[in-house]
Structure 1
Amino acid sequence: METARFASLIAATITMGLVSGLFYAFTVAVMPALRGADDRTVVDVMQRINVSILNGWFLLGYLGALVFTGLAVGLHLPADARGALGPLIGAFVAYVLAMIVTGRVNIPLNNALAQAGPPDRLPDPAAVRRAFETPWTRANLWRTLLCTLATALLAWALLLTTT
């Protein structure tokens, strides 16, 4: 049982770190880089990213973070001798909140961007960009902060289980 607890915690920390890093990269590099691009380029790049990101590697991290963190919580429920359950529950809650932000803000904005159509045929690409960029970037910052918090809490739980 101890091996399963430790393995689930390692898997949760790795997958959460991957998701946190992905959102962080958008916060500090992708969206700032696009800020200087023209409207059609922003729409085109984000439409392409939104299609290409839906792959098995992304889903492994995104869903894996939820599954492995939930598994770690469940495996620590019966016997939490080292006090890791609190940080584990905190990590799980932080990640669920990040997923809620994704589901309520980022995904609907991604869908609206896709429905806008090909960038070269948009009558007003600036309006499409305005409707997307600021709310998406703000929501992504929240996802970044929540996932970073979840990663830190998982690292804390890992530390507690190894000392």
Structure 2
Amino acid sequence: MTIILLLATVGSGLMAGLFFSFSAAVMPGLADLSPADARAAMRRINVRIQNPVFLLVFAGTAVLGGIGLFAGEIIAGLLYIIGSFVLTMVVNVPMNNRLERTDDAYWPTYLSRWTLWNHVRGLACLAALVMYLV
């Protein structure tokens, strides 16, 4: 396995773990709060997650997955690129942006939809990890 594929494997695993943490603990924890408190907390999380370490792993793994496509790791690369990177940009980020612009009444819809798509992202990253390993 080349260093690029090794790093893509590790990145897929890290992102699977991050998405799992949100699905298993963060979002259920926020669901226990009032909509105003949960929305405020998620808005802070959305700001703080945009840091160099996260962005390097999140975007870097997509780049490595793209390079891996040319090395024959087509399924793994597509699982990560589409299931994590594209899905985040097309679904979760717009929902995060809407959370910024709306009031607390949007929170219940956001919570259920965002979490559902987060499950999908986590499973896609896990599947990419498995495919890199096999």
TM over 0.5: yes
Q: Which runs of 5+ in 2 are unaligned?
A: none
AA of the residue aligned to 1:134? S
Q: Which runs of 5+ in 1 are unaligned?
A: 77-84, 117-121, 157-163
1:53 aligns with 2:38: no
Q: Which runs of 4+ in 1 moved over 6 A?
A: none
What are the superposed Cα offsets for residues 123-155 of structure 1, whole Å, 9 maximum, x if unpaired? xx2x12123111101110110111110011112
In 2: Cα distance, 1:45 partner to 1:65 partner: 27
In 1: Cα distance, 2:125 partner to 2:88 partner: 12
Partner of 2:92: 106
In 2: Cα distance, 1:10 partner to 1:144 partner: 19
Classify the secondary structure of the residue corresponding to 1:48: helix
TM-score by length of 1: 0.76
Identity fraction in percent: 34
Are the equivalent residues in 1 in contact too, given 2:20–2:122 (CA < 8 A)?
A: yes
Partner of 2:17: 21
Classify the secondary structure of the residue corresponding to 2:2: helix
Paired residues, number: 133
Partner of 1:37: 33
In 1: Cα distance, 2:69 partner to 2:91 partner: 27
Partner of 1:81: none
In 1: Cα distance, 2:62 partner to 2:89 partner: 14
- By how many angstroms is 1:55 displaced? 1.0
Partner of 1:96: 81
TM-score by length of 2: 0.92
- By how many angstroms is 1:73 displaced? 3.0
1:155 aligns with 2:94: no
AA of the residue aligned to 1:150? A
AA of the residue aligned to 2:92? N
Instruction: Select the structure of larger CA radius of gyration.
Output: 1
